[in-house]
Amino acid sequence: MVAKTATTKEVSKGICHFCKGEFAKSKMSQHLKFCKARQAALKAQAEQAGAGKSETLYHILVEGDRYLSNYWMHLELPASATFYDLDVFLRGIWLECCGHLSGFKIGRDLYSSESGEYMVWGDEIDAQLGDTEEAEHTQQDTAEGEEDLLVEIEEEEEEEFPSFEQYLSEVIGSVYIKANVDIAALPPDLETMFRKQYDYARTRWENMPREHSIDVAVGKVFKPGVKGEYTYDYGSSTELNLRVVGEREAKVSEEDETIRVLARNLAPVFPCSSCGKPATQIAAGYFYARSAAYCMECAKENAAYGENSLPIVNSPRCGICAYTGDATFDAEEGVWSVEDKEA
């Protein structure tokens, strides 16, 4: 009998923002509930807020799809934050390369960006990730009437989602709506046709996506247990899953009304495809880094590598399109920052 070779599944680990401890992905949600350093930080935050307003804060887990699930973050954001705010944050910390369109899907509801909303990114990303000096400078420029670099989203009235009766009339015609009053009175062949079209229309209507502005507050949608999807770039797509882990009520100051990183995965280590040493580069266009990852020396020797290389960064966007930015955690300062890395 040939003995079976045991295989060890790679365990994704991450760092808690508060205690700087290292924990497995499967244990992080539980750790954050009881982390003493986090509890102390929340107490200090509440004291600082004083008589501030009380607001619901949502704890969400955002992770790559089934093939990239070793990229993940635990975030906390207020109910007043919009899907646009979350979109800007995810772009800045994980995804942004060329201003592609993006959107969230929660059940049958879609919250999508529009073309042209993301033509200017510097100030928005700085403001979201804590660059207060740049944010204040932008506000001053705006107040003085100078050119506003921030993208404005016009609040448009959403079209009312059609009732089933309205949709039915568009699909099979108003004559059948009137006939629906007494289906049994129809001739047998007409009744059969009507029932088939009616059932078809009902199924289509029940699965129709409801489209909304991305400027909708997450508090109108989120509650513990809610799951959703997020797509950045509908060409070379990066797809994420999100889940609302929990919620809490807290008094917050205006400074605390932001999206915070509670924990994030440690960067996966990829072996060089040629020599096995830790890789630092990836051939552009490869969605799975292990298939075309190289150390710098082997990359230069690989004829197929050419000049189309990207740095390996801690992001599910690694190797896709022109993505080179990565958000890194500064353990000393306790903050997250965006850096651009050259190939």
pTM value surpassing 0.85: no
Q: How far apart are CA 262 and CA 240, in angstroms?
A: 18
Q: How far apart are CA 257 and CA 218, in angstroms?
A: 13
Domain ranges within the chain, ordered by starting residue: 13-116+211-265, 164-206
On whether the 13-116+211-265 domain is CATH 3.40.50.300, my answer is no
Could you list the pLDDT tens digit for every one of the 343 residues in the chain? 444 444 456 789 999 999 999 999 999 999 999 999 999 999 988 888 777 778 999 999 999 998 899 999 999 999 999 999 999 899 988 998 888 899 999 988 899 876 445 444 444 444 545 543 444 443 444 344 333 433 333 344 445 666 766 666 666 554 455 445 566 666 777 777 777 777 777 777 667 778 888 999 999 999 999 999 999 999 889 999 999 999 999 887 766 668 899 999 999 888 888 888 888 888 776 556 667 788 888 877 775 555 677 888 899 998 888 888 754 444 444 444 444 333 3
Q: Which residues, at least 6 apart from 114, have a Cβ–Cβ distance to it below 8 Å?
A: 101, 214
Torsion sign (Cα): 311, 313, 317, 318: positive
Number of C-beta neighbours around residue 250 at 10 A: 17
Q: Which residues, at least 6 apart from 123, have a Cβ–Cβ distance to it below 8 Å?
A: 134, 135, 138, 149, 150
Beta carbons of 16 and 32 less than 8 angstroms apart: yes
Q: How many CA atoms lie within 13 A of 102 on its CB side?
A: 27
- Per-residue b/e over 62-77, b at no fewer than 16 CB within 10 Å? bbbbeebebbbbbbbb
Q: How far apart are CA 297 and CA 299, in angstroms?
A: 5
Beta carbons of 96 and 125 less than 8 angstroms apart: yes
* Helix 188-206 / helix 164-172 crossing angle, nearest 10 deg: 130
